[in-house]
Amino acid sequence: MNPLPDTYPAAVEHNNASGVSWGAIFAGAAGAAALSLILILLGTGLGFSAMSPWANEGASAKALGISAVVWLAVTQILASGMGGYLAGRLRVKWANMHGDEVYFRDTAHGFLSWAVATLVAAILIAGSVGNIIGGGAKAGASVVSGAASATTQAEGSAASNTSSDQYGYFVDSLFRDNRPVAVSDDAARGVVVRIFTQTLANDGQLAAEDRNYLAQLVAQRTNLSQADAQARVDQVYGQARQAVEDAKLKAKQAADAAAKAAAMASLWTFVALLCGAFIASLAAIWGGRRRDAVTYLESRPYTTHAAPVR
């Protein structure tokens, strides 16, 4: 026995039809992606116009960051809203269907249009980042190639300099004397730099023999007593060590600030995308309701009546 009478073939056909109007979804996604591109370009132009290369001029970094977050949210709301509305308004009209099912399908169409637009944007962004990384890799390869060529032309001089810098401190220790001989300013500075570098790279405590040797060098070239020379060595080395500690602290603070900024950017991007998904679904419901409220006019053929024959 047939579940439906033979007089309702359209109902059977309708039940077997797909509930997804992919044409409407892709149309909404295309509109959302295009509007997103336009708004992002506009926001980028406004952001660059607010920046200034001069200190204490233009918008601050905090103001630019807040503006970028707000503009991203506005872009998502406007673009997703338009995409969802198009997906709901252009969908196929579902006849003889319960209102709850229509509500669900409209919501799904809006969400799918937002998802397709987001995936397209992600692919485009990933492609752009890949091109930038590829360009950087090519530039780095060119630099490495040029450096290798220069090293070859110098006949190994760069390698010998690197070896000298790495083991210079230990080489200097081989030729130390209790009475340092007079050397040029460049040679004396080189000895001091190598001692400071070796000490700061390890525990940071200046060894007694290094301190005495530096004091002898200073006393030899400045007419200071041994005690005054040692005091100057301690003072200058303390300043150098403090400068290194300050640089480490600034680098740590910069890394922490960058990590916090990246975390906040990811969090607000997630919030903006979530708002876009909600707005797209809501706009699709509105577009679907407007679609169903359209009254179709049935045109009747115009007939002319022949004049009566007299």
- Tell me the pLDDT tens digit for each residue of 240-288: 888 888 888 999 998 888 888 888 888 888 898 899 999 999 998 898 8
pLDDT at residue number 297: 64
Interacting residues of 68 by C-beta distance below 8 A, sequence separation 6+ = 43, 47
For residue 163, name the pLDDT band (cuts at 50, 70, 90). Answer: very low
Query: Could you give the dihedral angle defined by the CA atoms of residues 32, 36, 39 and 42, in that order, rounded to the nearest 10 degrees?
Result: -140
pLDDT at residue number 112: 92
pLDDT at residue number 126: 67
Number of Cβ within a 10 Å radius of residue 212: 16
Interacting residues of 81 by C-beta distance below 8 A, sequence separation 6+ = 279, 280, 282, 283
Judged by phi (left if over 0) then psi (alpha if -120 to 50, else beta), residue 95 lies in: beta
pLDDT of 221 above 70:
yes
Residues in the chain: 310
pLDDT, one tens digit per residue, over 100-133 is 888 888 888 899 999 999 888 888 766 654 554 4
Residue 140 to residues 128, 147, 148: CA-CA distances in angstroms?
Answer: 18, 10, 12
pLDDT at residue number 111: 93
What is the Cα–Cα distance from 58 to 52, expressed in whole angstroms?
5
Q: Is 208 or 133 the better-scoring residue by pLDDT? A: 208
pLDDT at residue number 135: 56
pLDDT of 155 above 50:
no
Contact 200, 244 (CB under 8 A): yes
pLDDT at residue number 78: 92
- Segment 26-37 mean pLDDT: 90
